[in-house]
Amino acid sequence: MYLIYKLYFSLINNLIIVLFLFRFSENNMHTVFSIKRKIIVFTLASLYSIVPLSRFDLIISNVFFLLTLYYLSDFKLKQSIIILIKFEVLLHIASAIICFLHSLLFSDAQLLYDNVIYQDYKSILVEIIAYVVYCLYCNLFKSNTIKNMYLLLFNITILGICLLLSYITLYICYSLPKSYMLSAIFAIIFVLIIICISLYDKFLAVIEENTNYRFKLELDKMEQVYSAQLDDKLNQLHSLRHDMKNHLIVIDGYASQHNDRKIHEYIHNICEDLSLTNAVDSGSHIVSALIAEKEDKAKSQNIRCEINISTPGINIDDFSITTIIGNLFDNAIKAAAECEHGWIRFSITQAGSYMNIVIENSCSGNIIENNGEFTSTKNDKVLPHGIGIKNVRKVVSNLNGHIDFSYASGYFSVKAELPNYS
């Protein structure tokens, strides 16, 4: 019976570590391992659990997990060693925290620590709780679109199950030190937790897919509006060309009368007929449509806009580039709208392998930066520049880019440098 217990303990322990290691490595390597590789590693971990190597268990287990990472990372030894060290540090921190909490619950902690069953299951308990907390922590940053009560209740439920498991472990080890009830309890709760985490991942994947679909629909709609604007402008140019002879006759008549004022008025009226947004050529239909839409929005609020785009093309995914430009432009419009003579200058230029996005705008009052937020001394309120800045910082960081903010009295500027390889 004891051998079966030790085999069970070793198998569960190694499978949990491998499962945790998969999630930890995928996040650090920014990749997703294939099902084939996961099956191979799970099989090797199961076989390794059967072999009695207790004398050198710690050394051999670390070597085994290092070889596992070496295989998963496509044989990159340095990266594998760094990830394994981070993983071990994380487990030791989790173990120290849980041991401290357990010592607070029992006055005779030494009696508990002398319990062999407790020592065995403590390691499994640490791995399960650390795995669950790590999964919830990582998914928290992926779930910006799911800020609701259901997500909060789900996280509380999972953590509650973990705490219940921890309390049951303490109670049985302290009151029934020779009981094997923990084997069945751990197996059932472990399976439940794995199912919950899997459903949680699937739920987030569906939400992300729906968000991306809605985002694509918005981009398509924006592109259609921009194309319609270009068609209208083209039709106006055709109409102007058709009537050009008549316009020139009228202008010539005013010129013969030396009526310069009438000439200026007539030319101004012709230009008014061509007052649609100027065509923007960024090399990307999506970016061009977005800039045109923001320029229209700014001009509708009597904000003067200067647009300068000089780049051979934009090789950044639509979601990232529209998040950056859209948020920065919206912030600039909101700030400039508070000024009597608001203005915005926007430019995209290419410098080597990097693309520079610069947006400058007028703003009211002096600006003070505090914890990433910008406050105006005119009314002591948070400026609209803070809206969306966190998302912009995050996207720029994910693209391995750099972003700078500069400001003075009545002036605000943002410069983002992004890799833009052809």
- The domain limits of the chain are 2-215, 281-422
> Residue 26 burial by CB count (10 A; 0-12/13-18/19+): exposed, middle or buried?
middle
- The DSSP call for residue 278 is P
User: Residue 275, SS3?
Assistant: coil
283 vs 310: CA distance, rounded Å = 9
pLDDT for the residue 228: 73
Q: How far apart are CA 344 and CA 334, in angstroms?
A: 11
pLDDT of 419 reads 92
| Paired strand residues for 347 | 308, 358
> pTM for this structure?
0.57
Q: What is the pLDDT of residue 274?
A: 58
Under a CB-based contact definition with an 8 Å cutoff, are residues 291 and 325 in contact? Answer: yes
Alpha-carbon span 385 to 403, nearest angstrom: 14
Say if CB 283 and CB 311 are below 8 A apart.
Answer: yes
Homologous superfamily (CATH) for 281-422: Histidine kinase-like ATPase, C-terminal domain (3.30.565.10)
Which H or E run includes 367? strand 367-370
Are the beta carbons of 229 and 297 closer than 8 angstroms?
Answer: no
Q: Is the dihedral of CA 247, 250, 252, 258 positive or negative?
A: negative
Q: What are phi and psi of 416, to 5 degrees?
A: -115, 130
Residues of the chain with pLDDT under 50: 145-146, 276-277, 382, 384-385
